[in-house]
A and B are shown apart, each in its own frame.
Chain A
Amino acid sequence: MALAMVNVTASVLNWVSSYFDAPTRAVVFGVPIDGHLVVEALLVVVILFQLTRKSYKPPKKPLTEKEIDELCDDWVPEPLTPQITEDMTYEPPTLESAAGPHAIVNGKEVVNFASANYLGLVGNEKITDSCVGALEKYGVGSCGPRGFYGTIDVHLDCEQKIAKFLGTPDSILYSYGISTIFSVIPAFCKKGDIIVADEGVHWAVQNGLYLSRSTVVYFKHNDMKSLENKLEEVTRRSKHPEKVRRYIVVEAIYQNSGQIAPLDEIVRLKEKYRFRIILDESHSFGVLGNSGRGLADHCGVPIEKIDIITAGMGNALATDGGFCTGSVRVVDHQRLSSSGYVFSASLPPYLASAAIAAVDYLEENPSVLSKLRTNIATLFNELSDVPGLVLASHILSPIVFLKLKKSTGTGKTDIDLLDSIAKQALEEDSVLIATTKRSSLDKCKLPIGLRLFVSASHSESDLLKAAASLKRVAALLIS
């Protein structure tokens, strides 16, 4: 069988080779043509034929008008806002008087711990007088942005006053507290820059970081070891240190937790790794330090070492607006490239004159700071043993922050429990306390809690009343 196969194969091969090895078969026009040349010529002709054919592409059919019409008819948008649920119908308490240490809510007098009136300047005579003078002279609004006749002489006076008070060369005023930080950050940080920020910063800072389009790295809340690690990592990975601007963004007193940032440690790290600091002093200006000059005064750090300081004036100074201060270069740069300054109307003049009067008051009466410190210490002491709640803020912070010892399960039930504590404290004991509210856009992961803003004008009985009320209500509601 195998032999027969071999024989057949051999004979086929012989036949094929004899065919090809055959001597010249034809003579055309005197040129001898071998048989294999015909096959090669045929192959060339086939190749040329294929090359001239168009390559096959599936035909591109753009949508016809009718199809677009159908798509447009079919498309159904989501509603503009989601369905309103039970917890969205929260109505805050309505004040019927000034937001001083005692306020009137629903006709009843309550002790007010929900206003950040740290120096007790709400209702101060001198400030009211300067405001009345400004209102009669300038009216209410300033009717224009700073670049187009909206700069009034009180603005310039206020900027100089704040700069002199803090000891910096110059400062710049903004017309609203939260717009300060989210205009300053994009003015200095652009795409490609590196920012190392604390994870507990509040929404306005997060918004500024997002708008700046820089690379943002977060470190653990108020943890200097974590900050050092992140700085080390970022410096190692950075390729052109002379062209890339690097910033550390921290708050002096965090409003989400009441912690105080250790500024001397941060300055040491900043000088080691060559970063610039942006410090938000909204809740520490007029509070910390022997003369109220803020965190630098409190930690004994010379003010020139901090590159950019921003603050909202809606807290200790009992007015509205914000300012930013630093070197001359820093301040001048903002006058043309900070969007909240250039494209917005300026601060109403009566609020600027209120700020001047407030800073004057602070310079003349530094004893108000020691009163505030005593109040904070008293309240801290009293609240250290509330059942179910634990103190989470720094001992010197005017924002006294209480969080739940044990979470009740979900975030929603926690919020409900805290809201009911605040509500009962208001209705039964006439103590107005605030719970932290988080917007759905806020990325901060720190725990929520109850916040009490201590003021220098609270009397000791107010503080004891609040502490007693909280202890009673918490014992009732937290099982």
Chain B
Amino acid sequence: MVRLPYTTALTTLFSYGLLFVFGQLRDFFRKLLGWIRKPKDQLKGYAPICLGLEDFYVRRLYLRIQDCFGRPIASAPDSWFDVVERCSNDNNKTLHRTEKTSRCLNLGSYNYLGFAAADEYCTPRVIQSLKEYSASTCSTRVEGGTTKLHVELEELVARFVGKEAAILFGMGYVTNSALIPCIIGKGGLIISDSLNHNSIVNGARGSGATVRVFQHNTPSHLEEVLREQIAEGQPRTHRPWKKIIVIVEGIYSMEGELCKLPEIIAVCKKYKAYTYLDEAHSIGAVGKSGRGVCELLGVDPADVDIMMGTFTKSFGSCGGYIAASKEIIQYLKFSCPAHLYATSMSPPAVQQVISAIKVILGEDGSSRGAQKLARIRENSNFFRSELQKMGFEVLGDNDSPVMPIMLYNPAKIPAFSRECLQQNVAVVTVAFPATPLLLARARICISASHTREDLIKALEVISKVGDLIGVKYFPAEPPKHLNQGHNKLE
């Protein structure tokens, strides 16, 4: 949990207030100039795409620091990659690519097990499947888009995760937003964690069921909400709910925290609610053999009704899956719109996942899988403990490869990002609206392909930059740092 000290909150609010005032001033001048110059009214009669303050945040705040986001790269997103330099001649409003690139350490891509670049086992097989099945099937799964590879992968995923059957989709986002309307509709209740991902929110909204939120990762509050809702029934009619589904995530991508899964499952079993676990970031990355939070926290996969995951993060491919009992999967194959209407997953991507899972399970004949899993665990724990020793405010639990460093102040976001890039370390900074307004942060994703030297270099750079901009909010451990002088660069 984040503890926001008062002085920091005040200075952050003051910064945002200042930016808001300046933005309004500029808007006022723009309106004045527009009124004086009288632009040609070719769009007369049409309402503008964004009215008034709808895109104020984009125009006046985001565009100033646009160069920190959306940086293009010119190589594979491996542990070291080439970031393309961009230049702007109108004060960051538009950015243009240049020919120059700089080799940087990658601390931002979701490459937990190091499958992002060409791999010695996976890539030859992927190229083989490309030549055999071509890049796309141009068809939906139910018409002519099911190949042998898809059937093989579904069985393999079900075996890997520990459920009876699985179904594949071509994109992780669509998996959530097209699946939730299928299993629950009007008259049902969805209780979701307050910090759930946008795809889950969209899916819940698209289903037509009532949605209630419980406090992030607090099983006691979940129990309270469940009791209250079952006792009251549907709003206004007070009829009993048709079914209740509780949606949680394995690792929350903006906090790096693990879900309190055993307690939540116990609560759900007691009140007969169904559970839906979204393991987008945790499958393949945590657990002794990479099987996700269930293995790490000692929960039997049979206790979770529906397990969802994506292949983008740990397996270096694209797409998503749902694993559940045979009946549920059979029903989904019959009625889920993403299965009936969407192009099936590209065959080379399917082959990549098959090969990656085989490496993780050790079925390729080597122990690379076990090495990768051990390395990512060591790397995450080492990095996190070192950062905490230096005095940074780092969120997240042990063993989780995602670690956000709190920045808070809006001016520190571009400062941290640009300073690190100058020293050839590429980090990801996140601000509103992905996080609450006052809680901007820099998010680090550790990979199994980072070596110890890479991590030590990253730590040096982050420490230097942290001193420069003053984000070491906690006292550092005495022997390492003698100089505590904060130079605040506003």
- Residues of chain A having any CB pair with chain B under 8 Å: 63, 67-68, 71-72, 75-82, 84, 87-90, 92-100, 103, 112, 114-117, 122-123, 127-128, 131-132, 135-144, 146-153, 155-156, 175-179, 182, 188, 202-204, 207, 210-211, 241-246, 274, 276, 312, 314-315, 318-320, 329-330, 333, 335-337, 339-340, 342-345, 347-348, 350-351, 354, 432, 434, 437-442, 451, 453
Q: Which residue of A lies closest to B429 (CB)?
A: A148
Q: Contact: B227 with A117, CB < 8 Å?
A: no
Q: Evaluate whether A432 and B144 lie within 8 angstroms (CB atoms) in the complex, with A132-B130, A139-B119, A343-B173 already known.
A: yes
The 8 closest A-B pairs by CB, nearest first: A114-B144, A314-B343, A176-B171, A434-B143, A81-B331, A344-B173, A98-B134, A88-B334
Query: Inside 8 A of A182's CB, which chain B residues have their CB?
Result: 177
Which of A149, A437, A451 gathers the greatest number of chain B CB atoms within 10 Å? A149
Q: Is B240 an interface residue (CB 8 A)?
A: yes
In the complex, given contacts A143-B313, A336-B58, what are 16 additional A-B residue pairs having Cβ atoms less than 8 angstroms apart? A92-B145, A95-B148, A98-B133, A99-B144, A115-B137, A115-B139, A140-B352, A143-B116, A149-B73, A149-B426, A151-B70, A178-B342, A318-B138, A343-B199, A344-B172, A351-B135
Q: Which residue of B lies closest to A136 (CB)?
A: B118
Q: Is B22 an interface residue (CB 8 A)?
A: no
- Min Cβ gap B93→A in Å is 10
Q: Contact: B272 with A152, CB < 8 Å?
A: no
Q: Which residue of A lies closest to B331 (CB)?
A: A81
Q: Evaluate whether A318 and B317 lie within 8 angstroms (CB atoms) in the complex, with A77-B244, A80-B328, A211-B205 already known.
A: no
Q: Which residue of B lies closest to A177 (CB)?
A: B343
Q: Evaluate whether A153 and B84 lie within 8 angstroms (CB atoms) in the complex, with A77-B274, A92-B142, A99-B145 already known.
A: yes
Interface residue from B71, B182, B273 paired with A149 (Cβ < 8 Å): B71
Q: Is B346 an interface residue (CB 8 A)?
A: yes
Q: Contact: B240 with A75, CB < 8 Å?
A: yes
Query: Inside 8 A of B365's CB, which chain A residues have their CB?
Result: none
Q: Evaluate whether A320 and B170 lie within 8 angstroms (CB atoms) in the complex, with A71-B231, A128-B134 already known.
A: yes
CA distance A146 to B77 in the complex (A): 12
Q: Contact: A211 with B202, CB < 8 Å?
A: yes
16 inter-chain pairs at a CB distance below 8 angstroms, sorted by A residue, are A81-B183, A93-B146, A122-B137, A139-B78, A140-B122, A141-B312, A144-B77, A149-B428, A152-B74, A175-B318, A202-B341, A318-B134, A318-B136, A345-B172, A345-B318, A434-B139
Q: Evaluate whether A122 and B244 lie within 8 angstroms (CB atoms) in the complex, with A141-B316, A152-B73, A344-B199 already known.
A: no
- Min Cβ gap B199→A in Å is 6
CA distance A138 to B74 in the complex (A): 9
Q: Contact: B142 with A437, CB < 8 Å?
A: yes
Q: Is B23 an interface residue (CB 8 A)?
A: no
- Min Cβ gap A412→B in Å is 13
Interface residues of B in 96-145 (CB under 8 A from A): 97, 106, 108-111, 115-119, 122-123, 126-127, 130-139, 141-145
Which of A98, A241, A320 gathers the greatest number of chain B CB atoms within 10 Å? A320
Map CB proximity to A onto B270-306 as digits: 1 under 8 Å, 0 otherwise.
0111100000000000000000000000000000011
Query: Inside 8 A of A138's CB, which chain B residues have their CB?
Result: 75-77, 117
CA distance A203 to B115 in the complex (A): 35
Q: Contact: B330 with A89, CB < 8 Å?
A: yes
Q: Evaluate whether A95 and B118 lie within 8 angstroms (CB atoms) in the complex, with A141-B316, A178-B174 already known.
A: no
Q: Contact: A439 with B142, CB < 8 Å?
A: no
- Min Cβ gap B168→A in Å is 13
Q: Contact: A80 with B274, CB < 8 Å?
A: yes
Q: Evaluate whether A99 and B134 lie within 8 angstroms (CB atoms) in the complex, with A92-B142, A149-B109, A176-B342 already known.
A: yes
- Residues of chain B having any CB pair with chain A under 8 Å: 45-47, 49-51, 55, 58, 62, 69-78, 81, 83-84, 97, 106, 108-111, 115-119, 122-123, 126-127, 130-139, 141-148, 151, 170-174, 177-178, 181-183, 197-199, 202, 205-206, 226-227, 230-231, 240-244, 271-274, 305-306, 310-313, 315-318, 327-328, 330-338, 340-343, 346, 348-349, 352, 426, 428
Q: Contact: A175 with B70, CB < 8 Å?
A: no
CA distance A89 to B333 in the complex (A): 9
Q: Contact: A241 with B139, CB < 8 Å?
A: no
Q: Contact: A245 with B49, CB < 8 Å?
A: yes
- Min Cβ gap A388→B in Å is 22
Query: Inside 8 A of A142's CB, which chain B residues have their CB?
Result: 77, 318
Q: Contact: A141 with B134, CB < 8 Å?
A: no
CA distance A136 to B475 in the complex (A): 46
Interface residue from A94, A204, A245 paired with B146 (Cβ < 8 Å): A94
CA distance A393 to B477 in the complex (A): 74
CA distance A144 to B106 in the complex (A): 12
Interface residue from B74, B127, B226 paired with A132 (Cβ < 8 Å): B127
Which of A93, A139, A143, A176 gathers the greatest number of chain B CB atoms within 10 Å? A143
